[in-house]
């Protein structure tokens, strides 16, 4: 534990957070150039929501009531795809080895990638919210509570996805292993996110506080644990 703490400071001249920021910036630059979030995730989310509409509709009542759930289901799938994409970019050019050899704190790689994925998801969730408001008659509700839920939720999803994204690129990984791993773990984000969104959009924003607290606790736990264990996933 002390060795780890030491490495944060003394590993190299660049401080830990700045390393993470650099990695996040790199990932975001790749993202902006490749337009994955806009080009792939957004249409995917739209398709998913329309499909939900067909599956649970056409009665507007059911759709309005399940709208927060559908929003977060779309975000869960998008998070899996975004996290996978984040690591795909590395393995495509064998850049992962470069990352391993670079004098970079492994935990900073995790934090940087998680930050990048979180920002992508945050942009995406705004768009998804607009789609849900339009398609399912969801009233926008309290913006602060909503933003809180989205910010905290996307961080949680990004932390878990960013942590295990390496597994998605393993040698014989069958397609389903990565989502199979991530989805059960982010259950608290799903439950709390949906509850908070539901309360925020039905005029009960005050009661959303406990769910936002749960999201915050989840984020703190997973970011901390991720920083601690990520190095073990990256060695080879």
CB of 145 to another protein, least distance (A): 17
Which residue, 72 or 131, has its beta carbon nearer to another protein? 72
CB of 160 to another protein, least distance (A): 8
Please, is 99 exposed, middle or buried when counting C-beta atoms within 10 Å of its C-beta (0-12, 13-18, 19+)? Answer: middle
**What residues contact residue 195 under an 8 Å CB cut-off, 6+ apart?**
208, 211
Please, is 183 exposed, middle or buried when counting C-beta atoms within 10 Å of its C-beta (0-12, 13-18, 19+)? Answer: middle
Which residue, 94 or 171, has its beta carbon nearer to another protein? 171
CB of 60 to another protein, least distance (A): 23
Which residue, 127 or 217, has its beta carbon nearer to another protein? 217
The runs of H, that is alpha helices, within the chain are 2-10, 16-34, 36, 42-56, 60-92, 95-101, 106-136, 143-168, 177-185, 187-201, 209-234
Residues contributing to the site for another protein (CB under 8 A): 163-164, 167, 170-174, 176-177, 180-181, 183-185, 187-188, 191-192, 195, 210-211, 214, 217-218, 221-222, 225, 229, 232-233, 235-236
Which residue, 37 or 81, has its beta carbon nearer to another protein? 81
CB of 195 to another protein, least distance (A): 7
CB of 151 to another protein, least distance (A): 18
Question: What is the SS3 assignment for 59?
Answer: coil
Where is 205: in which H helix or E strand?
Answer: none
Which residue, 42 or 223, has its beta carbon nearer to another protein? 223
**What residues contact residue 38 under an 8 Å CB cut-off, 6+ apart?**
none
């Amino acid at each position: 534990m002390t060795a780890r703490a030491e490495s944060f400071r003394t590993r190299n001249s660049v401080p830990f957070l700045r390393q993470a920021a650099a990695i996040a910036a790199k990932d975001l630059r790749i993202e902006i150039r490749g337009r994955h979030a806009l080009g792939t995730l957004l249409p995917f989310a739209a398709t998913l929501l329309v499909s939900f509409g067909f599956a649970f509709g056409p009665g507007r009542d059911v759709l309005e009531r399940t709208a927060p759930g559908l929003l977060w289901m779309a975000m869960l799938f998008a998070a899996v795809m975004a996290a996978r994409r984040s690591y795909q970019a590395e393995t495509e050019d064998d850049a992962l080895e470069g990352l391993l050899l670079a004098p970079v704190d492994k935990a900073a790689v995790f934090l940087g990638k998680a930050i990048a994925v979180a920002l992508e998801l945050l942009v995406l969730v705004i768009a998804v919210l607009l789609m849900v408001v339009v398609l399912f008659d969801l009233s926008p509700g309290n913006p602060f509570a909503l933003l809180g839920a989205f910010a905290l939720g996307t961080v949680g999803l990004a932390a878990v996805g960013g942590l295990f994204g390496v597994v998605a690129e393993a040698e014989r990984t069958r397609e389903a292993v990565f989502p199979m791993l991530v989805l059960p773990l982010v259950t608290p984000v799903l439950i709390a996110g949906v509850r908070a969104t539901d309360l925020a959009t039905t005029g009960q924003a005050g009661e959303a506080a406990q769910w936002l607290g749960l999201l915050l606790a989840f984020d703190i736990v997973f970011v901390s644990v991720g920083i601690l264990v990520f190095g073990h996933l990256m060695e080879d």
